[in-house]
Amino acid sequence: MSNVTAVILAAGMGTRMKSDLVKVLHPLAGKPMIEHVIDAVRAAGVDRCIVVVGHQADRVKETVKRPVEFVVQAEQLGTGHAVMQAEEALAGFDGLVLVTYGDTPLYTPETYRALIENHRRSGAKATLLSTFLENPRGYGRVIREQDGGFSKIVEQKDIDSPAIESVKEINTGTYCFDARALFQALRKVRNDNQQGEYYLPDVLKVLRDQGETVAIDVLADASEALGINDRRQLAEAEAVLNRRTLDRLMESGVTIVDPASTYIHCTVAIGRDTVIYPFTCIEGGTVIGEGCRIGPGARIVDSKLGNSVTIDASSVYESTVKDGASIGPHVFVPPGSEVREGKRIDRQW
């Protein structure tokens, strides 16, 4: 998608994760959390990605295996301040800026693409992505004018009436801006709040007060907007991504006998007519051919399996299993092994 740059905010530590590892690097469905965001943005057609890093910046730079640019937010002074760190990198850029977070890994490419396209059609200077929640407590509420247009965002801590408390439309924190309007408005944002921070949603108020149009794009599937703040939400996201992977594989011709008990990384490739039995885990960059029988109770990690391979309640790590071979049950195949074509292994390797 031409003339669009994504700015991905990934500077926070994520204290509620209670971890020595910065939040956006926590593994999720086979790759670091932030790579799900980068891949979705790229798949939406966005050519350029700028990642704003802070805590463990060097570690994030070393870990992310994607063609992105990094800018550093040395002090975490709010979301508006984070976006300002990308201004120099975007000097002279006259296109659109998609702003999203490195800890929101469930957005699909279709959602990002629709936000950008709807922004272009609207003629607005900014478009916020909203959604509806039955229990919106804790989120900023989107308040509309009588004609349905954008009025303001009221953060949870600033709600002062039952009418606003009852609003179920919330701000997801993902936006599309005209680049020049974004940075001009950011310079007018103040940090006169309890936290002393510069908030990105204040840009919308600045633009509206200037008479500019602020549009709203409503996300139908609220689950996509889930931000990861703790381990429980990490597990929720893992379940969503695992189900997406299983659905994709089943649609491509793979039989998964019991999706509820099957775990497969999104980085795995499996050929048609392969059957995956319950309590099986397939991880990393594993590639499985056609017509295989895997499980029940198998674990396969970073391995390459040919066609018509059978693995029954065994573990295969970083190995190659040729066409027609069979393994198990209760066999451990260690890293670096090669099981020859048609060979049967019934005991420990």
Structure tokens at 263: 């775990």
Q: Is 48 a catalytic residue?
A: no
CA distance 226 to 14: 15
CB atoms within 10 A of CB 26: 19
Pairing state between β 141-144 and 150-154: antiparallel
Tokens standing for 61?
């730079």
Region for residue 276 given its phi and psi (left: phi exceeds 0; alpha: psi -120 to 50; beta: otherwise): beta
Q: What are the backbone dihedrals phi and psi of residue 9, each rounded to the nearest 5 degrees, phi first?
A: -85, 120
CA 144 from chain center: how many Å?
A: 28
Q: Name the active-site residue from 16, 137, 232, 272.
A: 16
Give the amino acid at 254: V
Contact 8, 17 (CB under 8 A): no
Please answer whether residues 119 and 217 qualify as being in contact, where contact means their C-beta atoms are separated by less than 8 angstroms: yes
CA dihedral 157, 160, 165, 169 (to 10 degrees): -70
Are the CB atoms for 298 and 328 separated by under 8 Å?
yes
Name residues whose C-beta falls within 8 Å of residue 288's C-beta, 6 or more positions apart in sequence: 268, 269, 270, 271, 274, 282, 294, 300, 305, 309
Phi-psi map region of 26: left, alpha, beta (phi>0 left; psi -120 to 50 alpha)? beta
Q: Please list the alpha-helical segments (H only) found in the chain.
A: 33-43, 57-63, 79-84, 109-122, 162-165, 179-186, 202-209, 231-251
For residues 296 and 178, give the distance between their C-alpha atoms in angstroms, rounded to a whole number. 52
CA distance 227 to 49: 20
The residues assigned a catalytic role are 16
